[in-house]
Chains A and B, each alone.
Chain A
Amino acid sequence: MIEDAIALVAERVRAGSRRDLVECLNLVDGSSTADRGRTTELLDLLYRMERPDGWVTGVTGAPGVGKSTLVGTVASELRARGRTVAVLAVDPSSPRTGGALLGDRTRIGADPKDAGLFVRSMASRGALGGLAAAAADAVVVLRAAFDEVVVETVGVGQSEVDVAALSGTTMLVLQPSAGDTLQFMKAGIMEVPDVVALNKSDLPGAHAALAQVRAALGWAAPDSGGWTPAVELVSAAMRSGVDTLVSLLERHRGHLREMGAVATRREGARAAEVRARVLRRGGELAIEALGEEALGRAAAEHPEMSPRAIAASLEARWLAGLRAG
């Protein structure tokens, strides 16, 4: 596919070709370095194809709160409102083996006959911007082909910060189980979300939890765009409250548009992404220049040296190489 004229491929993705869409996602999910230049060119074309009324929503929350089921019901509500929807479900990779279990798809429950709904699972591939790079690329591809892109991640560590940078709206999913309702927010893992969905509203304690979340959100100052974070009770399993939740999500984007805050929000994220990409690529280039095995050797040959000192000597060697080169 990549052999075809890049403009044609991008055009077919925009026009709704599933095959080209999938091939593009395979490409950005891959590690092949051979086509780096062409891939950049392709993604740049797709980036410019973003739909004028398109929107990216990031969804995060602890394991077991029912994120995937909720994303599924939100997606079908958006479909019912005439929007086409792509879901990108990101799950962590095992740091030990590099493998990953991607189990969200089945709970999202997409109708296989609906061409306007697309679900793709993706492994986070470890830290160091792994999610940011591949998921950001995947979002670019999906945005060219769908009105709505929903990115779902497990809310631990860095990943939801990355997601927030990709999204116009971020939604945190909580459940009303004793004690842990607020841990997530108190821990400061999540900066204040735009919308909180309190799922499993049919469980006992849901209303008490709602009051707690409201109080916690009350402490937060409205963001620079003047939006006050809001919370909605839903039950994804019972399909109740989903329409009001989707209306709330739409209200948030309406608010940002009205305030002219969309571009501001995005500028910051763009700068951060450029920075992250340069940071990561710079490191990769340094390792390529020094040689992977040289790194290992340096550590093995000087057991008395601290890793910091070894890194410093490698840095000096790399800089010298650059000057000489």
Chain B
Amino acid sequence: MGRPKDAPWLFRTYSGHSSARASNELYRTNLAKGQTGLSIAFDLPTQTGYDADHPLARGEVGKVGVPVHHLDDMDTLLEAIPLDRMNTSMTINATAPWLFALYVALAERRGIPAAKLRGTTQNDVLKEFLSRGTYFLPPAASLRLSTDLVLWAAEHVPSWNPINVCSYHLREAGATAVEEVAFALGNAMAVLDSVVARGLPKASDDLAKVVGRISFFVNAGLRFVEELCKLRAFGELWDEITRDRYGVADPELRRFRYGVQVNSLELTEQQPENNVPRIVLEMLGVVLSRNARARAVQLPAWNEALGLPRPWDQQWSLRIQQIVAYETDLLEHEDLFDGSPVVRAKTDEIVAGVRRELDEIERMGGAVRAIESGYSKQRLVESNARRLSSIEHGEQVVVGKNKFTETAASPLVAGNDGGIMVVDPAVEKDIVARLEEHRARRDARAVESALVRLEEAARNGDNVLPASIEAAKAGATTGEWASAMRRVFGDYRAPTGVAAAAAGGAVSVKAPSNDAMDRAREAVRRASDRLGRRLKILVGKPGLDGHSNGAEQIAVRARDAGMEVVYEGIRLTPEQIVRAAIDEGVHVVGLSVLSGSHMTVVPRIVEDLAAAGYGDVPIVVGGIIPEADADALRASGVRRVYTPKDFDLPKILSEIADLAGTPDGTR
């Protein structure tokens, strides 16, 4: 008989939507289907520290995840789920100390000792400044709160992974495999340096324990051989860094432990059924090599580029994992690649590239400085521009998108719902009403004094966890907790990465002097002549969605096409966008929305701009927008709607230029 079969990794599905009640039902269904861990998706207001009734939360409540305001919400979310036996992963960063405090307070309410809790808080705030954008405080203050959670958990919840350092989102923002590893390791080192600075000396047992609890959350793309080598490289480098830089003697504590969500960037809106084989292949990179195998795997759904996945779509992704784990012989063998010269060489190449990047970050004074200066973001924007440019030019083949595009109609998207999940717009009102009830019901004075103590702790440099847990028990809300932090540390807007392009032009890819780009420039020149002023466009993201990659690319390329681009960045209210459009005298307004809140925020901007007497300024929208919604948006006055299938940026820019100052698009 052969060796015993390895235990499979944890099967997770990143999920949550609408309300704590609805998400709880979903979790229980998923667990019944053989899912083995929970992965909670929070909505954007919860992630960025706003209650559902804040103006910025409009249209975002319950969209990309579940809203959790207070302890009772957390209780409902995890009803009938045994916290002492569940492994819970929470994708939460800026507000991680708060959501963790709610989780710990809930355990206490149920009589479960904190020491018995197992799971992960993502709590990697640094990467939020580079991708994803759900930060709310300046980098140094963010790192401080993140460290508070790491230190408190190390002492009180020893089986918890208090931070999940993410390379995943860096890759989604366009990083190469080498940049993905290097920037994530740089961020991990910043966290550990911060832990050391808080009094856990290098080579101490306490620090070694913290190192042993740090896990990673990585990406895996279609080039699965390179991905497999990337993960071997990741592991080798982490082992080396923790040994040499932090003096961790125990090899077990230096182990590179990671979970994975495979790549969504490579999934297509065109012929979306092709995404199923893509997901399978992406998964190979993280499960094939036993010595670099993921601890937990989440797969995206085949229809992510179309809109929010439904339970059935998520089930299909879960089944993929189960088939690989239970039907194949993968788990019966030792590592398949040890001793392979090809794998060794590729791994060495990646290690060498990462070392060069790490030296550069170190030279700049570490990850926090590299982020604050805009360097890291600028690198990602550049890499993404190169990636998109090579798809535009057909150098990188994407089946169904830039090659083999002919297709029969897909029966998968023919249903009444268009093959996606639609969140009931009534949810937001209901959540706000319940929140008001909660505020009326609780002991206001107890909340008030708990928040005062929290603010004091933050100001005095004390660990905020104990005061956060007390505030959780008193009934404080997510928005109140975050407001207290904002009062102490100040709100923050990160460098956009495109600002660097304005200064030196370093971001612009060298390639765009091709015919398509020349045509775009010509269209811009014609428009500028027509208008008697150089074509000026506003690019901004309404709502709380921080995925700014698309908007950044448009801004940079529009500049390259000769437009004057007012780049407004993320997290804008409709009022701010309308004000900017008017005061800046722009000829076109470009909005990017990926969170699903487009039907709430976009029509408001259209109406408000018209009400101010500027209804003739054409508005274009880009984002993950289902076809039915696109029709509705056009009917409401939006001039063009672009979705992930529109990848030809020069063509989009030409169309936008043609809209300005023509009878069709006046002004």
Contacts and interface: CB of A to CB of B under 8 A. Distances in A.
Contacts of A31: 528, 532-534
Q: Kindly name the residue among B496, B559, B561 whose own CB sees the greatest number of chain A CB atoms within 10 A.
A: B559
A121 B576 CA distance: 15
A237 B492 contact: yes
Nearest to A93: B564
A39 B229 CA distance: 65
B567 A92 contact: no
Nearest to A94: B505
B521 A97 contact: yes
B138 interface: yes
Contact of A103 (B499, B533, B572, B583): B499
A261 interface: no
B579 A102 contact: no
A118 B580 CA distance: 9
A272 interface: no
B502 A102 contact: yes
Interface string A103-124: 1011101101100001111010
Q: Kindly name the residue among A30, A92, A101, A239 whose own CB sees the greatest number of chain B CB atoms within 10 A.
A: A101
B559 A99 contact: yes
Interface residues of B, number: 49
Contacts of A123: 534, 564
A98 interface: yes
A32 interface: yes
Which 7 residue pairs across A and B have the least CB separation, nearest first?
A32-B532, A30-B533, A112-B579, A101-B502, A99-B559, A112-B575, A26-B585
Contacts of B490: 237-239
B493 A98 contact: no
A30 B580 CA distance: 18
Contact of A100 (B531, B533, B559): B559
Interface of B: 138, 373-374, 490, 492-493, 495-496, 498-503, 505, 508, 521, 524, 528, 531-534, 555-556, 558-569, 572-573, 575-576, 578-580, 582-585, 613
Given A31-B534, A112-B576, A101 B493 contact: no
Contacts of A101: 498-499, 501-502, 555-556, 559, 565, 567
Contacts of A19: 613
Interface of A: 18-19, 22-23, 25-26, 29-32, 34, 63-64, 69, 91-94, 96-103, 105-107, 109-110, 112-113, 118-121, 123, 125, 154, 237-239
Q: Kindly name the residue among B521, B561, B576 whose own CB sees the greatest number of chain A CB atoms within 10 A.
A: B576
B529 to A, nearest CB: 9
A30 B566 contact: no
Nearest to B525: A98
Contacts of A32: 532-533
Q: Kindly name the residue among B499, B555, B561, B572 whose own CB sees the greatest number of chain A CB atoms within 10 A.
A: B499
B533 A107 contact: no
23 contacts: A18-B582, A18-B583, A29-B533, A31-B528, A31-B532, A32-B533, A63-B500, A91-B502, A94-B559, A99-B561, A101-B502, A101-B567, A102-B584, A103-B498, A106-B493, A106-B567, A107-B493, A110-B579, A112-B580, A119-B583, A123-B534, A237-B490, A237-B492
Q: Kindly name the residue among B498, B575, B584 whose own CB sees the greatest number of chain A CB atoms within 10 A.
A: B584
A96 B585 contact: no
Given A106-B567, A112-B573, 11 more contacts: A19-B613, A22-B583, A29-B585, A30-B532, A94-B508, A97-B560, A99-B560, A101-B501, A102-B564, A102-B566, A102-B584
